[in-house]
Amino acid sequence: MTQASLLMQAELVHSLPARARFRCRFHGVPDWSGLVAAAERIPGVESARASARARSLVLAFEPSLTDPVRLKGALLTLAPQSGPDVRLADTDTGGARDALIASAMVLFGIGWLPRAAQLAISVAAARTLFREAGEDLAREGITSRVLEGLAVAISLARGDFAVANTTGFLLSLGEYLSETTARRSDLLLRDLLRPVHPVVWVMRDGQEIEIPADEVVIGDIVVVAAGSVLPVDGRVLSGLASVNEAALTGEATLVEKTRGSRVLSGSLVQDGRIAIYAETVGAGTVTARIADYVERSLAAKGQMQLDSARLADQLVPTILRVATGSFLISGDWRRPASVLQADYSCALKLATPIAFRYAMYGAGQSGILIKGADALERLAEADTFVFDKTGTLTTGVLEVTDAIAFDDDFSPEDLICLAASVEEHYAFHPLAMAVVEAARATGRNKHFDHQEVEFIVAHGVASMMEGKRIVVGSRHFVEDDEGIDCSAQRGMIDRLFDDGKTVLFVGFGGRLLGIIGLEDTLRASAGATIARLRELGARRILMLTGDRDDRAAEIAAMLGLDGYHADLLPEEKARIIGQLAESGARIAFVGDGINDAPALARAHVGIAMNRGADIARLTADIVLLEDDVTGLADALMIAHEVMEIIRLSFRLTIGLNTSILAGAATGLLSPLATSVLHNGSTIAILLNVLRRRIGPRHPAAPALTG
C-alpha cells in the first residue's frame, strides 16, 4: 500500500473454516491492489482477493497456521508496500492508445505546415485505416471499414486534410474507448478465475516438498492435511481423514477416508491427514478447462450483438448507393464524401459489445462472474427460477436444531454446553463449530471442567469428567466402539435421522446422556432474494431437494415459493429441468454440486455458487463468487439494465445516423460536419454506456469519526 493509503479498519463479516471476508476502510485513497499484495504476505494466507465496489477483502488461509482473529490483527498492522504486483484491472490498451495520441498530434499539429507536408503526414496517419479497409474489401467485400477508408481517401484527394484527420482522430477515440473497456473486463475475468491453491505438498525421495500445483504429475504421492482442499483425483495410500464433499455432493456431511478410498479434487479435508496416489492431475486439467471457458466467455456473442452486427452489415450497401446517387444527382464530390462518413456500423457494432463487457466488468467487481454476453441475454429472458436447495437457499453450514437429554439432571442447554466443553478444542470441525456456537447462543455458555481431550479421527472426541469417561461423536463411535446401549432411545434417534438431520451422540459414564440434532440452515438472505426476483419479473420460483415432502413444504412456505419437488435423487434434477423447458419455461437453475452439472447444462441459463464443485462452476453460465445468493438478484438486475441500455443505444444510433445521412445526402452537412456529428454521436453513445452504473448499488462506507 502507498504511504497515503493506510488500512484503518478491518471488520470480519463472514468466516468459514479456511476462508474469511473482511469489510475494509482506508485512511486516504483506497489502494486495493496494494492491500491484496500485502495480505498475501501474511503467514498462513494462501490467497487474497479484493472487491473495491463491495469494500471487502477475502482471504483463504491455512487453519492450522492462523485464524480470522489473528488475520484481522495482521491486516491492521500491515506496513505500506510499494510497487504491488497484483492489480484489480489494467487500462493499458497499447496500440489503440498510441494510435489515439498519434491521430491527435496529426490533427492539431500540422496546420502550419506546407500543403505537401500535410498531405504526406495525413496519408501516413491514415495508412492503418487504408490497410484494414483493403483487407476487408478482399476478404468480406464492402464493409463499414471500406466506407470509412473511402471517405478519408476522398477528403485527402480533395485536400480536405482537416476532414480526413478529424475522421481519423474520432475513429481512434472510439476504438480506444472500446478496447479499454474490453481489456478491463478481460483482465478482471482472468483474475477472478486464478487458481486458489497454487502449491501442493508431494513426497519426493522420502521427503515432503512443496511444488507448484501445475507441476503435479500422475503417480505423485500428494500429502493433504486438515483444512486443505484436495488438488487431485486419486486413491488414499495411507492415513485417515474426515473429508467434506459438499462441493461434490451438495450435502454438508463428512465422509471417512482410509487406505484405498477414492477421493476427488475439490473436497475439503476437515480433519486428519492422508497421502494420495494421483490418478488424475486436478491442477492441470482444471487449469486447462478454466482457460478454455474464459476464452469462450470472452469470445461468446449474444444474439442481440449478432443481430446488431448483421443489421450494420446489411446497411452498408445502402450507404454506398446513397453516396453514388447523391453524386450523380448533384455532381458534387462533397456529398458522397459526407454520406460515406454517416454509416451505421460504428455505433451498432461498438455500443452493444461494450455494454455487455462493461456489465460483465461491473458484475465481476460485485462478485458475480458472467461468462459472456449470451449468458446476460438468457438471464434477462428467464421467467422461471429453480433452486437446488442445498448450498443455495441454505448455507451448507450445520446448525444445532435439537438437543434431547435422557437424564433428568441435565437440561437441553446443559447437554449442549457439556458437548461444547470438549468439542471447543477442535472448533475447526463443522460439527464442533456448530455445537460451540449453539452453546454461546444459550446465553449461559456454561463450562464443564474435564481432563485432556482425545480426538479420534472420523469418530469424535473423548475425555474424563468427574472420574467418568465422556464421549461425543457419531453413532458408530458411541454405540459400537464405546459399547453404549442406545436401544431405549431408538425412536427419538430415528426421528431425527428421518428428518434428514445429522445426529451427534453424547455418552457419559457408559450410558447415553443425550443426542444433538444438526442440519443445514436457510440463508438469512434467501427470503429477501426471492422477493427481489419477483420484483425483477420472475413468474415462478421453484425448489428441488432430496428432503422429505413435509420438510420441503415447510421451506417452500417459509420462502414463499411457487412449488417444489421433494425426495429427489441427484440424477432426477436434469429430468425435471427438461420437463419444465418442454412446457415453454425459460429456466434459470441455481446449483452448486457435481450432481447439478447436468441440470445447469440443460437450463436456459445456469448459475453456480463459488463454493460448489469445479464442474458446476465450469458448466454454469454465471458464478456467484461471494457465496451469497443475493448475487443472483444482483445478476438479474444487471441483465435487465444492460438490455435496457442496449435497446436505448440502438434507438439512438438509428435515429441520429438516419438524420445525419439525410443531411449529408441533401448537401445540408459538409464532410467535416458529417464526420464530427457522426463520430461524435458514436462516441456520445459509447460514453452514455460507460457513464451508466451497471450493477448493485452498495451504500457508501460511513465516515470515520473520533
Active site (catalytic) residues: 388
Residues 6+ apart with CB under 8 A from 306: none
Please report which helix (H) or strand (E) contains residue 209, including its range: strand 207-212
Residues 6+ apart with CB under 8 A from 605: 375, 378, 379, 382, 587, 588, 589, 621, 622
* Three-state secondary structure call for residue 121: helix
Question: Which neighbouring-strand residues pair with 461?
Answer: 455, 472
Cell of 428: 475447526
d(CA 277, CA 272): 17
d(CA 62, CA 429): 14
d(CA 14, CA 16): 7
d(CA 431, CA 504): 8
d(CA 165, CA 118): 10
- For the chain, the maximum distance between any two Cα atoms, rounded to a whole number of angstroms, is 112
Please report which helix (H) or strand (E) contains residue 402, including its range: strand 394-405
297, with CB counted inside 10 A (0-12, 13-18, 19+), is buried
* Three-state secondary structure call for residue 437: helix
Between the CA atoms of 235, 240, 241 and 245, what dihedral angle is there, to the nearest 10 degrees?
30
Residue pair 599/572 in contact by the 8 Å Cβ criterion? no
d(CA 285, CA 279): 12
H helices, E strands: number in the chain: 24, 24
**88-91, Cβ contacts within 8 angstroms, sequence gap of 24 or more:** 88/32, 88/33, 88/36, 88/50, 88/52, 88/188, 88/191, 88/365, 89/184, 89/187, 89/188, 89/191, 89/361, 90/183, 90/184, 90/187, 91/180, 91/183, 91/184
Among 35, 36, 31, which residue's Cα sits nearest to residue 47? 36
d(CA 17, CA 3): 33
Sole residue written with cell 443455495:
392
* Three-state secondary structure call for residue 427: coil
Sole residue written with cell 477508408:
149
The dihedrals phi and psi of 71, each to the nearest 5 degrees, come to -65, -40
d(CA 61, CA 213): 17
Among 504, 491, 408, 495, which residue's Cα sits nearest to residue 461? 504
Please report which helix (H) or strand (E) contains residue 76, including its range: helix 68-76
Please report which helix (H) or strand (E) contains residue 496, including its range: helix 490-498
d(CA 384, CA 586): 6
Question: Which neighbouring-strand residues pair with 199?
Answer: 212
